[in-house]
Structure 1
Amino acid sequence: MIVGVTGGIGSGKTTVVKLFSNYTNVAIYIADAEAKKLINLSAKIKQQIIDLFGEKAYKNNILDRKYIGQLVFNNKEKLQSLNNIVHPAVKEHFANFVKSNQHKDYILYESAILFESNSSEKFNFIISVYVDLSERIQRVMARDSVDKKEVLARIKNQWKEDKKLLLSNYLIINSSLENTKNQVRKIHNILTEKATHFL
């Protein structure tokens, strides 16, 4: 059974996934982290990105995320071209991850752009993590040392929250850690129970 976890930038998906990782019957796949590894380790992907953005795309063999970010966040075509390189590689990598974790009750796949990348159909259930927009902006500004304008530019590339929530099976309101822990425990128990019907 495969469960998607998503939410807008700064909603606290990482915190939620860490709480799920306390349960031993769950395998967790962080799409963004795996994409970063593939981008820096795969010679094929590196070459495709250099062909698209030039030699400046990498600094000391590591993707220059700030440079790429400036190029793609206000240019939908370039962002789409980058996604066309990275998404198929992540998809293949995840398929192998699923095969090697079939003994788990369910697999959590965390991605900020789960709906935007048209991959929501492959999940049995979807969990959305939600926090008020003003709090998300403050979190991202503090976390990434960027200004409000840059945070809003990133948010603009993601679906509106209400649209995501309507298409999700479960909602976690990530306002306080204790409250979030309780919501994660409840959803985990439901999913563990549901997993028995997928065998």
Structure 2
Amino acid sequence: MRNHKPLLVGITGGIGSGKSTAAKIFSILGIPVYYADDRAKWLMAHDPELKKQIIAAFGEESYTADGTLNRTYLAANVFGDEEKVKTINGLVHPAVKSDFESWSQYQDSPYVLKEAALLFEAGSYKELDKVINVSAPLKIRITRIMLRDPHRSEEQINHIIDQQLPDEEKNSKADFVIKNSDNKLIIPQVLKIHEELLKLGK
């Protein structure tokens, strides 16, 4: 474990904004990136305490006989119901928070990134030192998602976008904004933020 605690920086952005691309550039620059959404899925599948809590809240059917997370069951019985979504988030977010905290203690870097889709919506941005929002015009985002996920309908995409805070609100809450439109290069913006964060994380 290192003596100097790294600066904790969040990177977020609405679906199709390009936050994963921006996070990859930081990663190429040698910055450790914690992918919160992927890690949440891993914890739901492997963390014994969290599994116990999910079974207590949603029943034995939440996991298959071999202990695998029953995504089909959860998608059908949880994700359409606002109250149940709140319940599952209330179990998963604290598990991710403590996992991220222990992970960040072992990173030998001036700062680390926590990449998450709902940093502002979930309130977890309050636990971070700085936040970067990746922003892109709505039309461009919808086109990107349809190209990337051809199985999603425009209606489904709009539903996901409606669950997320509007870009203007995220930009006003963020410490740094990366504009990822077709006429704005993303790499120079990442490099500029990287330089500033290196100074802050000294």
TM-score with structure 1 length normalisation? 0.86
Aligned to 2:13: 7
Following superposition, the deviation at residue 193 of structure 1 comes to 1.7
Structure 2 residue aligned with 1:106: 111
**Aligned partners of 1:73 and 1:154 also within 8 Å:** no
- Which amino acid in 1 is paired with 2:95? A
- Aligned-partner SS, 1:21: helix
Q: 1:140 to 1:23 in 2, by over 3 A?
A: same
Alpha carbons of structure 1 residues 179 and 87: separation in structure 2 relative to 1, 3 Å? same
Per-residue Cα deviation, 1:95-144 (whole angstroms, up to 9, x for no partner): 1012111x311011111111111122222211100111122223333434
Equivalent residues of 2:142, 2:154 under 8 A apart? yes
The offset of 1:11, in angstroms, is 1.1
Change (3 A) 1:192 1:160: same
Map of 2:178 onto structure 1: 172
- For residue 143 of structure 2, give the secondary structure of its aligned residue in structure 1: helix
Describe how 1:1-199 pairs up with structure 2 within 5 A. 1-24=7-30, 26-58=31-63, 61-65=67-71, 67-101=73-107, 103-144=108-149, 145-176=151-182, 179-196=185-202
Question: What is the CA–CA distance in structure 2 between the aligned matches of 1:131 and 1:174, rounded to whole Å?
Answer: 5
Partner amino acid, structure 2, of 1:117: A
5+ unaligned residues in a row in structure 2: which ranges? 1-6
Q: Find the residue that maps to 1:172 and give its secondary structure.
A: strand
Moved more, 144-153 or 120-129: 144-153
Residue of structure 1 in register with 2:4 after alignment = none
**5+ residue gaps, structure 1:** none
Which sits farther off after the overlay, 122-131 or 60-69?
Answer: 60-69
Once the two structures are TM-superposed, the CA of residue 67 in structure 1 deviates from its matched residue by 4.8
User: Relative to 1, partners in 2 of residues 1:57 and 1:21: Cα closer, same or farther, differing over 3 Å?
Assistant: same
**Closer, same or farther in 2 for the Cα pair 1:189/1:158, shift >3 Å?**
same
Query: Contact 1:48 / 1:85 at 8 angstroms: preserved in 2?
Result: yes
Q: Which amino acid aligns with 2:131?
A: I
